[in-house]
Amino acid sequence: MDSRVLLPRRTRIVFFSLKKNHCDSSISMLQPNYLLSSKINIAPENDKTDFSRHFGFYKNYSFFILKALRKSSFQEFLCYMFLLENIEEKNVNTVDIKVFPAPRKNGFNIIGRCDTFRGRIRIYPKTFNYCYAFRKKYGKDYLFAFVGNRARAALIHELLHLKYVSDEKKVQELTDIYFSTYIKKQLEKNSNLISLHDLIFASKKYTPFGRKVAESSVQLNK
């Protein structure tokens, strides 16, 4: 049985109605150059860490994530999510793609953080060792699909925190719903996305998502 949560029927009707009428003036300000896309950038890294010896890998990783998050189809999807959730784009100040992974916290890797007061979101990469092992097991193409969609799921999660702030349970549920809806549109091109969803969200049963006051962080097992 598919364990993923589906959008409520009324929400699905509204969502696809918005898609059908995407030229409506209410969302024209986000087209063709999506305002959120211009706020997504690679954050400079000045501090040397243990990850620096693989700087070339992490640099390429960050450019790949930048492209994945700025992809027009994903930006369009976020536009609809903003409308459905009544989240204003102006509440997002910056989306920083961090070059190096964040330090592990309570045994988990940090995927993203959101400072809801400043509207600052940070997205972190997987480690070199993890990606090396993943590619060896699943192949290069599946690795690319994994890291790109992992970052998209993290951004959806952090954007929802701008509205729901400390309601982590609600944010987790909606992240699953919206991400499932997004990848469902791509299943015709890549049937592996079903298992990809499960792989990205597999650690939820271990309570991988954590937060602080005014700052949330998405965490997944290494």
Q: Where are the domains of the chain?
A: 59-220
Q: What is the pLDDT of residues 36-51, one digit of tens each?
A: 899 999 998 766 677 8
Q: What is the pLDDT of residues 58-106, one digit of tens each?
A: 999 999 999 999 999 999 999 999 999 999 889 999 999 999 998 877 7
Q: Residue 163 is encoded by which pair of tokens?
A: 């509205």
pLDDT averages per 10-residue partition of the chain, 222 residues: 46 47 42 74 80 90 96 92 92 94 78 92 94 92 92 96 91 92 73 70 45 40 38
